[in-house]
Amino acid sequence: MAIDSGVFRKIIGNFATGVTVVTTANDGFLHGLTANSVTSVSLDPLLLLVCVDKKAHAHTELERCSHFGVSILGADQVEVSNLFARPGEPEQGSLRGAAWHYGPGGTPLLDGALAWLECRLAERLAGGDHTIFIGEATGGEVTRPQAPPLLYFRGGYRGVAS
């Protein structure tokens, strides 16, 4: 039986995901995008992927960058997720007013994240109306090991049941 994009989206919405913000810095202009299409790919080398809509500002910024950051959000960061889920232009020296810092590799990262990774952009792959950006992890840290994650499921934020 064939399905359309609406049915596909509803089905995929039953797969719970973590929530991240992917960040870039190009010529002093910073940008962030809420992304739940982030997946570990390989442990040797250390690779992850993020899928980005070709129409998003973040797509242009990822095309231009050599490195990007991934901040894994905690359950108390719904507002941060919502902030970066809205379309927005890159800003000089600012990430939409959110608290952030440069990681050791020079990538912007969000303050208060559960964990973060800095990645070198290793590969771009075609993925329909998205591009699959593969990054090689060059640094990272778990910063809040006891805090619960922010999850996304069936179109809304969720927490982890004990």
pLDDT in tens, 34-62: 999 999 999 999 999 999 999 999 999 99
**111 within some domain:** yes
What are the pLDDT digits (tens) for 81-132?
Answer: 999 999 999 999 999 999 999 999 999 999 999 999 999 999 999 999 999 9
* Phi then psi dihedrals of residue 21, to 5 deg: -125, 125
Res 162 pLDDT > 90: no
**2 within some domain:** no
**159 within some domain:** no
Q: What tokens does 148 get?
A: 């619960």
Of 24, 143, 160, whose CA–CA distance to 72 is shortest? 143
Of 30, 8, 9, whose CA–CA distance to 152 is shortest? 9
**150 within some domain:** no
Measured distance CA(92)–CA(77) in Å, rounded = 23
Straight-line distance from the first to the last Cα atom of the chain, in angstroms, rounded to the nearest whole number: 38
**157 within some domain:** no
Q: What tokens does 95 get?
A: 């990430």
**63 within some domain:** yes
Count of domains forming the chain: 1
**CATH code at 136?**
2.30.110.10
**99 within some domain:** yes
Q: Give the domain extent around 127.
A: 37-145
pTM for this predicted structure: 0.95
**17 within some domain:** no
Measured distance CA(33)–CA(81) in Å, rounded = 8
Of 29, 30, 46, 39, whose CA–CA distance to 109 is shortest? 30
